[in-house]
């Protein structure tokens, strides 16, 4: 009988210690560090989103293969730069030394999704380069020298690149949705308001 009260008392003390640790400055600092690293990644993604809109607008305005090819290649280069920033942010996130098990788990989950997103953007850059190569070949070949076989191959290459781009876009939406959910979970755990617009 006395053991039951002792266990209850120990459990109460354990809960009090857990609450104290959750509210301790060390935990708050770890929350700040994790949220800060994630916010760096969000800033990188928002910057790229703004840049990608200008490329999309330029691509819509381009009417011929010779004007569209350089846009595809510039967009691929921009993706490479963005990807480099994303990898750097992922390393910063991975380097955090978090002693709180829940925060460390969130860190691992978010870092994994960020690496997935980085891989997807690498694939997207390659697809855009492939499309740029095809468009350049079309632009560089006089129309009277294009064989039916070449035309069919180029059409197939463009369709494949378009399908690759669509698949990467879909996968990246899924990944960023997962990242948003993890960020919401972190904010809830750290008792923070989510960023406006999320």
| DSSP letters for 97-117 | ---SHHHHHHHHHHHHHHHHH
Helical segments of 24-142, H only: 25-61, 65-94, 101-140
- CA dist., res. 43 & res. 187, Å (int): 17
Question: Which structure tokens are listed for 95?
Answer: 């380097």
Contacts with 198 (C-beta within 8 Å, 6 or more apart), sequence order: 180, 183, 184
67 falls within a domain: yes
Supply the pTM of this predicted model: 0.75
198 falls within a domain: no
Q: Specify the DSSP class assigned to residue 145.
A: G
17 falls within a domain: no
20 falls within a domain: no
35 falls within a domain: yes
46 falls within a domain: yes
CATH code of residue 91: 1.20.120
Domain ranges, residue 58 = 26-189
Q: From first to last of its 198 residues, what are the pLDDT tens digits of the chain?
A: 333 333 333 333 343 334 444 444 468 888 989 999 998 888 888 888 888 888 888 888 888 888 888 988 998 999 899 888 888 888 888 899 898 899 999 999 999 999 998 888 898 899 889 888 988 988 898 888 888 898 899 889 888 888 888 888 889 889 989 999 999 999 899 886 555 444
């Amino acid at each position: 009988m006395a053991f039951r009260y002792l266990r209850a008392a120990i459990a109460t003390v354990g809960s009090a210690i857990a609450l104290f640790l959750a509210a301790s400055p060390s935990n708050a600092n770890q929350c700040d560090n994790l949220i800060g690293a994630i916010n760096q990644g969000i800033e990188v993604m928002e910057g790229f989103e703004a840049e990608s809109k200008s490329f999309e607008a330029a691509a819509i305005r381009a009417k011929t293969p010779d004007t569209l090819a350089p846009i595809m290649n510039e967009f691929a280069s921009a993706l490479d730069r963005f990807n480099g920033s994303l990898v750097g942010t992922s390393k910063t996130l991975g380097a955090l030394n978090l002693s709180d098990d829940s925060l460390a788990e969130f860190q691992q989950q978010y870092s994994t999704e960020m690496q997935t997103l980085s891989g997807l953007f690498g694939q997207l850059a390659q697809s855009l380069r492939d499309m740029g190569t095809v468009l350049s070949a079309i632009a560089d070949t006089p129309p009277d020298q294009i064989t039916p076989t070449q035309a069919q191959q180029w059409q197939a290459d463009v369709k494949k690149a378009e399908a690759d781009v669509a698949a990467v876009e879909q996968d990246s939406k899924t990944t960023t949705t997962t990242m948003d959910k993890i960020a919401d979970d972190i904010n809830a755990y750290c008792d923070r308001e989510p960023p406006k617009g999320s």
